[in-house]
Amino acid sequence: MKKLISSLAVCISLSATALTPAYLDDSLPIEDRVEDALSRMTLREKINIIHAQSKFSAPGVPRLGIPEIWCTDGPMGVRPEVLWDEWDQAKWTNDSCTAFPSLTALAATWNPDMAELYGKSIGAEARFRNKSVILGPGINIYRTPLNGRNFEYMGEDPYLISQMVVPYVHGVQSNGVAACVKHFALNNNEVNRHTSNPIVDDRTLYEIYLPGFRAAAQEGEAWSFMGGYNLFRGEHASYNPILMNQILKGEWDWDGAVISDWGAVHDTKTAVSGGLDMEFGSWTNGLTNGQSNAYDNYFLADPYYNGIVDGTYSTDELDDKVRRVLRLTFRTAMDRNRPFGAMGSDEHVAACREVGEEGVVLLQNRGDILPIDLSKVNKIAVIGENAIKMMTVGGGSSSLKARYEVTPLDGLRNRVGDKAEIIYARGYVGDPTGEYNGVVTGQNLDDPRSPEELRDEAIKIARDADVVLFFGGLNKSNHQDCEDTDRESMALPYGQDELIEALAAANPNLCVINISGTGVAMPWTDKVPAIMQAWYLGNETGNALASLLTGDVNPSGKLPYTYYASLDQVGAHKLGEYPGHPGVDELGNEVFDMPYNEGIFVGYRFTDKNKLKPTFPFGHGLSYTTFDYGKASINKTEGTADDTFTVTVPVTNSGNREGKEIVQLYISDLKSSVDRPVKELKGFKKVSLAPGETTDVTFEIKRDALSFFDADRHEWICEPGSFEALVGSSSADIRSKVRFNIKNSK
């Protein structure tokens, strides 16, 4: 009897194995599973999985048990749930997230380990909420300080972005959640974002606007990409044959899924052929208006199905799209081994704080006003709306429902306790609202007083204090760092410049803490001794800032973009035609042509070339200690382009407290057949040094760091000749350089 039972068991298990379809057998390679699933799907099922069934989900294949794909914004926290078919809040009570610092803050850490920690943490939150795709990171180039979404991106330099995006993607995907790298490509402004038609040459495209995306695709192996709203050479980016088919899936050999931006698809034929794999958000503008339950009418729904049935389209493109969506599903929702994730954990709060503390940039500190010495200061005047305003709500699709948010004033009060008196005055009223898309901060920031009354009060308390901390900047309301609108000028809004000047006159011990995700004009830098660039820092904003201001943490962030004095220093404004001019594209559509006349000369490449002095240069950032650089040396002064050159520089902490320095390597091609930037960032290392400690910082220079993109030959070229390796503390503070020669290269 015993024997009979045991052979029965073997039989059942054998037949269970035989019955397990290959696509469910996770011991098989993903490609085999994809082919097996594809072979079982009907035409209707294939069409269904390539477009949305709700605002943020696609249906999977219910008959085969292939799960839905759920997406969520991105890129600084997991978005609260909206209704199935509306943008309105679903009013869940379990969807408050950890709000992480803006991606500009992350880039300003210049620390790939921070990017990995960030990605891992946000990915774990997305996983916990059962999302397969997080719609981020954003990595569009900072071409103009006016772009309303700069705070969602990583600055102006393709090398810095590439170094930061890869670990972010790895971190997210270690949770079995796909990163969706956006917005591919050239989505560098919000004004006219659906009709903007960047006119960009190939060299500029490959040298400036693509490297971050290429790194994300090839080194990061991102599982999905989001196309932009804008046009490029006659077609919308989300299904642009050059961007998607030729470059992303062709040259880069990428096997992931292209997701449209929400409402970025306008046509079936080109969406079919242009390399788009999943259509989302059609009949909306991406943020608000939408047509109810229109999913069957999506361009990749019934119109595509009918076109296949009547022979207009073959099934080749469809099968390619389905394979990519299945791959995405197997890598995420169908990965039985993926971790379970976590939400709002202590680790995530710590990550939020650490990234914030490493990302804040000390721009100026004359007379060592900072850190505030609590043993000497009795009265601290805190002024400005941004000291009390919660900023995790606002800014467009990246708006969050944070579990909590510590404002700068609360953070300071927590830290200072009874060691000094803190007196607060608002100084100005900017944006008293605290609502975005149905999420409210719960703050009531209405203030009936006149601008004069507010100002007078602020000046009065400033006069009376030992030190004055002004918290101002932008605030994620329309035109102040917000999706769908660009800023209207570089100036600080709400009369802040006048107020800052008045405060400087009232008290020489003034520190301006500018909270924004982009550069603002600072006409008062000569009058204000201390300036700190803080970003939107999420949950821990106030605690992170208090640590930095009081010196618990030594600032170590550096600018990921050039801090221009005025728009005249920005290539896009000086030479280009921002915000574009009305034109008609190849297909007869009305567009806003936007020539990128500055070409590769973006950011410091433009200010260097034109010998302009920005307010603060790219890569700049101070510390409460000082760093001395020794003489750079190189392992050899001549070699071929296939050799590796090694540059070493000793760096010493010459101050009296521990600190971190970001040592930067720029390469200069001294003679070239093409116009090249004066120098380009090609390496950086963040090192932590105790007082008096010296370390050797080493960089490897390979062909990539020396090459330019030859558009005619469509390849990267390293020309023979002399190069210089420049090592410095910012793009404008080169401490040592060494020359080397490349012979006989291709």
Return the active site residues: 261
> In the range 132-151, which residues lie near ligand BGC by CB under 6 A?
135
Q: How far is the CB of 182 from ligand BGC (least distance, A)?
A: 5
Q: Which DSSP symbol is given to 405?
A: -
- Closest to ligand BGC by CB, 400 vs 651, is 400
For residue 670, count other CB atoms closer than 10 A to its CB.
11
- Closest to ligand BGC by CB, 262 vs 471, is 262
Residues that contact ligand BGC, how many (by CB under 6 A):
9
Amino acid in position 612: L
- Closest to ligand BGC by CB, 74 vs 176, is 74
277 half-sphere exposure, CB direction, 13 A CA radius: 26
Are the C-beta atoms of residues 710 and 607 closer than 8 Å to each other?
A: no
Are the C-beta atoms of residues 724 and 706 closer than 8 Å to each other?
A: no
Cβ neighbourhood burial of 7 (10 Å; 0-12, 13-18, 19+): exposed
Please name the residues in contact with 483: beta carbons below 8 A apart, sequence gap of 6 or more.
148, 149, 152, 190, 287, 395, 396, 397, 398
659 is a contact residue toward ligand BGC (CB under 6 A): no
How far is 620 from 556, CA to CA, in rounded Å?
A: 10
Position of minimal CB gap to ligand BGC = 286
- Closest to ligand BGC by CB, 227 vs 341, is 227
For residue 95, count other CB atoms closer than 10 A to its CB.
19
Are the C-beta atoms of residues 731 and 618 closer than 8 Å to each other?
A: yes
Our CA angle for 324, 77, 392, nearest 5°, is 145
For residue 568, count other CB atoms closer than 10 A to its CB.
10
The residue within the footprint of ligand BGC, chosen from 140, 397, 475, 541 (CB under 6 A), is 397
> In the range 245-274, which residues lie near ligand BGC by CB under 6 A?
261-262
The residue within the footprint of ligand BGC, chosen from 23, 51, 74, 317 (CB under 6 A), is 74
> In the range 282-301, which residues lie near ligand BGC by CB under 6 A?
286-287
Q: How far is the CB of 228 from ligand BGC (least distance, A)?
A: 8
Q: How far is the CB of 511 from ligand BGC (least distance, A)?
A: 34
- Closest to ligand BGC by CB, 262 vs 563, is 262
Contact flags string 510-549 toward ligand BGC, x per CB under 6 A: ----------------------------------------
Our CA angle for 190, 195, 200, nearest 5°, is 85
Q: How far is the CB of 345 from ligand BGC (least distance, A)?
A: 24
How far is 76 from 212, CA to CA, in rounded Å?
A: 18
Contact flags string 353-392 toward ligand BGC, x per CB under 6 A: ----------------------------------------
> 457 in the Ramachandran plot: left (φ > 0), alpha (ψ -120 to 50) or beta?
alpha
Q: How far is the CB of 684 from ligand BGC (least distance, A)?
A: 28
Q: Which helix (H) or strand (E) covers residue 414, if one does?
A: helix 408-416
- Closest to ligand BGC by CB, 228 vs 538, is 228
The residue within the footprint of ligand BGC, chosen from 46, 127, 143, 182 (CB under 6 A), is 182
- Closest to ligand BGC by CB, 80 vs 617, is 80
- Closest to ligand BGC by CB, 237 vs 520, is 237
Q: At what angle do helices 158-173 and 211-218 cross, to 10 degrees?
A: 30
Q: Residue 490: phi, psi to the nearest 5?
A: -85, -10
95 is a contact residue toward ligand BGC (CB under 6 A): no
> In the range 212-241, which residues lie near ligand BGC by CB under 6 A?
none
Q: How far is the CB of 554 from ligand BGC (least distance, A)?
A: 35
Number of H helices, E strands in the chain: 19, 30
73 is a contact residue toward ligand BGC (CB under 6 A): yes
Q: How far is the CB of 72 from ligand BGC (least distance, A)?
A: 9
- Closest to ligand BGC by CB, 70 vs 262, is 262
Q: How far is the CB of 397 from ligand BGC (least distance, A)?
A: 4
Q: How far is the CB of 257 from ligand BGC (least distance, A)?
A: 15
Please name the residues in contact with 665: beta carbons below 8 A apart, sequence gap of 6 or more.
647, 681, 682, 683, 684, 699, 701, 725, 726, 727
Amino acid in position 651: V
Residues that bind ligand BGC (CB under 6 A): 73-74, 135, 182, 261-262, 286-287, 397
